[in-house]
């Protein structure tokens, strides 16, 4: 598999924010988000690293591809079974569906839980791994902020909504799922209400996390409270569980 890193931390975003988590970050992504905070994961990595002890920031490097036994050894060294979650993230992990499946089996055998962080577009891959995943953190991408990697930067906005809806249906067959939307200063309430309505058309009890963007890359401005609070209240009129949760790991300086 193509890995970027394995390290110990706390979940910094989403519904399980603050939970002790081992992160397994895979390389390569087929999207380009204007606010991406990990552009180093866009392409397959030549080398990967793992933390030798929780919170030490001491890493050992290896060449890719990584073997499953190396991943298992790294998880055991970090005592992954004692953590609330092992998060499989990226990049886009479901581009390496066999690797996600293998990692999830190891995590289940260790007695921990797998949290999959995904752009929510690889429907077939989700159907394959869903029985082995405990929690899915599913992004819902807004077309004006995100493009396919193969598309030109100045190309026409392409909606991801129909594939997101199919992905959500697939994930809910086996997993706890929440949907996360990154909100910029330019995001409108109508855009978010549209997402909420589509989520509700599948299951109105699915939690929706509105995540104010952390200024990064091309995005220089975060939305204000006067923008976020009306967004939240509008979505609460459609869904049963709407949360406003920023990226907390940016506050305490974790990876």
pLDDT band at 254 (very low <50, low <70, confident <90, very high): low
Pick from 13-17, 36-40, 109-113: least confident: 36-40
Beta strands in the chain (DSSP E): 3-10, 20-26, 31-33, 47-51, 59-63, 85-89, 114-118, 135-139, 146-148, 176-183, 208-212, 242-244
Which residues have C-beta within 8 Å of that of residue 223, sequence separation ≥ 6?
183, 184, 185, 187, 212, 213, 231
pLDDT band at 249 (very low <50, low <70, confident <90, very high): confident
Please name the residue that has the structure tokens 């079974």. 81
pLDDT tens-digit readout, 180-189:
999 999 999 9
Whole-structure pTM value = 0.95
pLDDT of residue 209: 98
What domains, with CATH codes, occur in the chain? 3-252 (3.20.20.70)
216 secondary structure, DSSP code: B
Q: How far is residue 11 from each of residues 70, 152, 202, 255, measured CA to CA in Å? A: 23, 33, 27, 10
Are residues 151 and 173 in contact, defined by beta-carbon separation less than 8 angstroms?
Answer: no
Give me the mean pLDDT over the 89-101 stretch: 97
Q: Average pLDDT over the chain, rounded to whole?
A: 94
């Amino acid at each position: 598999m193509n890995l970027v890193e394995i390290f110990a931390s706390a979940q910094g975003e989403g519904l399980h924010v603050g939970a002790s988590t081992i992160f397994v970050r895979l390389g390569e992504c087929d999207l380009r988000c204007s606010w991406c905070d990990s552009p180093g994961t866009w392409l397959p990595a030549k080398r990967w690293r793992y933390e030798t002890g929780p919170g030490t920031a001491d890493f050992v490097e290896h060449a890719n591809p990584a073997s499953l036994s190396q991943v298992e050894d790294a998880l055991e060294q970090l005592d992954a079974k004692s953590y609330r979650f092992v998060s499989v993230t990226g990049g886009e992990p479901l581009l390496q569906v066999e690797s996600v499946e293998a990692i999830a089996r190891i995590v289940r055998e260790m007695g921990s839980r797998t949290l999959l962080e995904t752009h929510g577009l690889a429907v077939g891959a989700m159907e394959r791994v869903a029985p082995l995943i405990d929690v899915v953190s599913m992004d819902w991408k807004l077309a004006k902020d995100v493009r396919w990697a193969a598309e030109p930067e100045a190309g026409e906005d392409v909606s991801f909504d129909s594939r997101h809806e199919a992905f959500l249906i697939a994930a809910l067959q086996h997993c706890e799922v929440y949907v996360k939307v990154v909100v910029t200063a330019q995001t409108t309430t109508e855009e978010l209400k549209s997402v909420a309505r589509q989520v509700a058309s599948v299951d109105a009890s699915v939690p929706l996390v509105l995540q104010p963007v952390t200024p990064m890359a091309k995005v220089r401005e975060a939305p204000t409270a006067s923008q976020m609070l009306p967004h939240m209240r509008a979505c609460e009129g459609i869904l049963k569980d709407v949360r406003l949760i920023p990226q907390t790991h940016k506050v305490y300086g974790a990876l």
